[in-house]
Each structure stands twice: as structure tokens, then as C-alpha cells.
């Protein structure tokens, strides 16, 4: 036996969602529809808790200032503290890593020509903790280890969708070459349409988002060729975060000649604060 | 031949590229310092004195004092860095984003609840000419 990727999860990581949970606002009318959309996900999660999650997210000027801006980075530490982003740290558990698998993935992926930056000191922000909260609720500790994979989407140019898809394929090959019998999920986070800056702030494009959700499932190779300017113009300057979803999608079986994944759940909601929230769960066969 | 910057044609939007990052380096690094609680306290106690510890332009310092995020973005600030000023003031990201739109807080919130700003009429600079 070896390790394998059983499923991919895609979700926005809006900080206000974390704040709503932390402050007990989830049953307010503003938030109730959003959290209702994640109820099926939490049920599925409780029956499909993996041995580890490779969680693709972006750092929002938290661990990476302008001192260092890695395009792709992997967290290989045993533990990742929850960062203070300026409002005080979220009151959620610290994130436990999987140093052995992370080191294996780093070595394998670098040898497949992806120059990952290896990071051992990585305070994690809402980009990583909000997806965990959405999928797991509010446990005293997260139910499984997490390997953070950080993608630069803050300083332009960010990596292309195509490059992200190929990184996902490389991560899949790395996981399958790991000797321990482990059930691994890969999560892609961020998006969907949103713009947080300038007089155009508040842009939402539900047509773009829903077409993206359709094609991410059915035709990810073609979708990954979408140029950056299309995200900026159509989905807002911060909608560019969607490139990170391709890392998770690229790790699924069908992109390595296997069967198409099964769509377990799909959800879309506007708004969470400034942002359109999108969510998918895809399961590999067998 | 220079690099292509197709995003310069998007209205009301500044893409944080390497040129912006260079102009805004110290402004953004100042913002990073506000991730430490003790620095937030010190900044709020005497903003000018705190800002004078950083190698920022006078325009950047004034933009911080004025909390004018559009000005700061024009001077090389990035929203994820600038948000730390808003966090220091105890403001939400929705208040921070809305402050750049010329809309009241209530009007911005209502626009978002109603589905957000449509991309129609907001894709190209020429669509905004004469309106701002």
C-alpha cells in the first residue's frame, strides 16, 4: 500500500466567516444560509476524515511580508501557530503538521522541477484556518494533521492556473510514492469573485463564478488556461485567488488517466462580507 | 520592449505588481509592524512619532494619518498590508473595503447583500470616463 489522494475540497476562506464563528454569530440571518451550505460538508467530513490534508492557501501579508515572497511554499514543521493578523489571533487550535509526509512531498515535487520554498516557521492566517473551521466546526483540536502549501497571490505576477494545475499533478505523484498507507485530502482555497480595494471594491460576478465551478469539474485543463487579466477584470482583483483551486484539482485521478471524480457537494452564496463564497467536494473513485 | 500590463485598463483597480511594491516597500513594512499588539498601542498613542521611525514619504505618512486607502494604494500600498491599519482601528474588512468606494458604510453593505457590484459597466477604463 501507499498513500493516496481520496478527495479534494474547494472553498473560499473569507476572514469574516471565521469571525462569525468565533463570535457566535452563525445563526444570525446574515450568516445562517452560508453555514447551512456547509452542513452537508461537515457530515461528509465526519465520515471521511483523512489521515492528513494538503491545504493550499495564500498568506495575506502574515508570515510573508515584503521580505520574502515565495511563489510556492510548503510547511514542513511539526506545528503551525495561529497568527495575529492585527485583530488578535483567532481562538482556534494551533495546526499540527505532518513533517514526514511534508518533507517527502517537498523532495519529490522539487525533483519534478517545482522549486518549492521549504518553510519551517509559518504562522498561519485565516486563509488556512477558515477552511478548517468551515469543514470541522469548532473542535478542541483539529482532527488530522495539515500540510500547508502557500501560493503567492498577493504580489503580481502570481503563478498561472496552468502552473498550479501541474503542481497538483506533481503533488499527486509525490503522495502516491509515499510508502505509508495514508488517506490524503487536498484542499484548494480562496476566491471566488471579490475585490477588496479601490473604488471598484465589492465586485461580484456570479456568472463567472458558476461557470468556473462547472468547468473546474468538467474541463479543468482548458479552464486552467484562463489568463490573469480575465480574473482581474471579471472576478475582481482578489478573484485571482481562484488559481489556487487548480492545485487541488490537478491532484485528482482523472488528470492522471483515471476515472472522473464524483461531485459530493456544491454550494454558492453571496455575500460573505465582500466576497462570493464557492464550495465543492470531489471524491476519487474507489 | 517593456512588460505588458493589461490590468492598467481596469477601472478603480490597482494591481500590486513589482513597481507598486517597490514604491510602497516601507509603507507596507510599517503596516506589517502593526501585527504586534505592543506596536499597535504605540502607534495609536502617537501616530506621527511612530510613522517617523519609518523611511516613508511624507505623502505616505499623511495618507496613513488620513486613513485614505485609495491614496495609499496609489503610493504602493497593498490592501492586505493596509488592512492592518484598519485592524488597529478595530474596523472590519468590510468597513475597510467600503471606505474606498465613496459609498457610505450602510450603502456598501446593502450593495453586497443585494449581490455586490455588477461587472457590467465596470470592466474597462473607458466605461468609467466622465463618471469619476
Task: Sort out which chain A residues have CB atoms less than 8 A from B100's CB and list them.
Answer: 197-199, 201
Is the pTM here over 0.95, yes or no?
A: yes
Residue spans of chain B under pLDDT 70 = 1, 130-132
Contact B101 A229 (CB under 8 A): no
Q: Which domain CATH number covers B73? A: 1.10.700.10
Task: Sort out which chain B residues have CB atoms less than 8 A from A199's CB and list them.
Answer: 11-12, 70, 100-102, 132
Q: What pLDDT score was predicted for residue A79? A: 98
Find all residues with CB under 8 Å of B34, minimum gap 6, and list them.
A86, B40, B43, B84, B85, B87, B88
Residue spans of chain A under pLDDT 50 = none
By the 8 A CB rule, do A95 and A142 touch? yes
Which sign, positive or negative, has the C-alpha torsion A107, A243, A93, A37?
negative
| Order of strands, sheet of A117-119, starting from the edge strand that comes earlier in the sequence | A117-119, A72-75, A146-151, A52-57, A183-189, A4-11, A275-283, A262-272
Model pLDDT for residues A41-97, shown as the tens digit of each residue? 999 999 999 999 999 999 999 999 999 999 999 999 999 999 998 888 999 999 999
Report the number of distinct structural domains present in chain B. Answer: 1
Of B84, B100, B116, the CB nearest to A197: B100
Model pLDDT for residues B71-107, shown as the tens digit of each residue? 999 999 999 999 999 999 999 999 999 999 999 999 9
Q: How far apart are CA A75 and CA A54, in angstroms?
A: 10
Within 65-104 of B, beta carbons closer than 8 Å to A belong to: 69-70, 73, 78-81, 83-84, 86-88, 90, 92-94, 96-98, 100-102
C-beta atoms surrounding A65 within 10 Å: 17
Structural domain for B78, as ranges: 15-89
CATH superfamily of A4-283: LigB-like (3.40.830.10)
Q: Which residue of B has its CA nearest to A231?
A: B7
Examine residue B75 and state whether it is found in any structural domain, yes or no.
yes
Examine residue B34 and state whether it is found in any structural domain, yes or no.
yes
Amino acid at each position: 500500500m501507499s498513500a493516496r489522494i481520496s478527495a479534494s475540497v474547494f472553498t473560499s476562506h473569507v476572514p469574516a466567516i471565521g469571525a462569525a464563528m468565533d463570535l457566535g454569530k452563525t445563526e444570525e440571518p446574515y450568516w445562517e444560509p452560508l453555514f447551512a451550505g456547509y452542513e452537508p460538508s461537515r457530515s461528509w467530513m465526519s465520515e471521511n476524515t483523512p489521515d492528513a490534508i494538503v491545504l493550499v492557501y495564500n498568506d495575506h501579508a502574515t508570515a510573508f511580508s515584503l521580505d520574502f515572497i515565495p511563489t510556492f511554499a510548503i510547511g514542513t514543521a511539526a506545528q503551525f501557530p495561529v497568527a495575529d493578523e492585527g485583530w488578535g489571533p483567532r481562538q482556534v487550535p494551533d495546526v499540527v503538521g505532518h513533517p514526514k509526509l511534508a518533507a517527502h512531498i517537498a523532495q519529490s515535487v522539487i525533483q519534478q522541477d517545482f522549486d518549492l520554498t521549504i518553510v519551517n516557521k509559518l504562522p498561519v492566517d485565516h486563509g488556512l484556518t477558515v477552511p478548517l473551521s468551515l469543514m470541522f466546526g469548532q473542535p478542541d483540536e483539529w482532527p488530522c494533521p495539515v500540510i500547508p502549501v502557500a501560493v503567492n497571490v498577493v504580489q503580481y505576477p502570481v503563478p498561472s492556473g496552468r502552473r498550479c494545475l501541474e503542481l497538483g499533478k506533481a503533488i499527486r505523484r509525490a503522495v502516491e510514492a509515499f510508502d505509508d498507507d495514508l488517506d490524503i485530502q487536498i484542499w484548494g482555497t480562496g476566491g471566488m469573485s471579490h475585490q477588496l480595494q479601490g473604488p471598484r471594491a465589492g465586485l461580484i460576478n456570479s456568472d463567472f463564478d458558476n461557470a468556473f465551478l462547472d468547468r473546474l469539474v468538467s474541463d479543468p485543463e482548458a479552464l486552467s488556461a484562463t489568463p490573469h487579466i480575465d480574473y482581474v477584470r471579471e472576478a475582481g482583483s482578489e478573484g485571482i485567488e481562484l488559481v489556487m483551486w487548480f492545485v487541488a484539482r490537478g491532484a485528482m485521478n482523472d488528470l492522471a488517466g483515471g476515472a472522473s471524480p464524483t461531485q459530493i457537494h456544491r454550494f454558492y452564496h453571496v455575500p460573505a462580507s465582500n466576497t462570493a463564497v464557492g464550495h465543492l467536494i470531489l471524491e476519487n473513485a474507489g | 520592449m517593456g512588460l505588458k500590463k493589461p490590468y492598467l485598463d481596469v477601472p478603480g483597480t490597482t494591481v500590486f505588481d513589482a513597481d507598486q511594491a517597490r514604491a510602497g516597500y516601507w509603507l507596507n513594512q510599517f503596516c506589517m509592524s502593526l501585527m504586534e499588539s505592543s506596536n499597535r498601542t504605540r502607534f495609536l498613542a502617537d501616530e506621527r512619532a511612530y510613522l517617523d521611525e519609518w523611511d516613508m514619504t511624507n505623502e505616505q505618512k499623511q495618507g496613513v494619518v488620513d486613513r485614505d486607502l485609495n491614496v495609499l494604494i496609489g503610493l504602493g500600498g497593498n490592501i492586505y498590508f493596509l488592512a492592518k491599519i484598519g485592524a488597529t482601528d478595530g474596523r472590519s474588512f468590510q468597513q475597510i473595503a467600503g471606505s474606498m468606494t465613496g459609498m457610505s458604510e450602510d450603502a456598501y453593505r446593502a450593495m453586497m447583500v443585494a449581490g455586490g457590484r455588477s461587472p457590467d459597466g465596470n470592466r474597462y477604463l473607458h466605461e468609467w470616463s466622465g463618471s469619476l
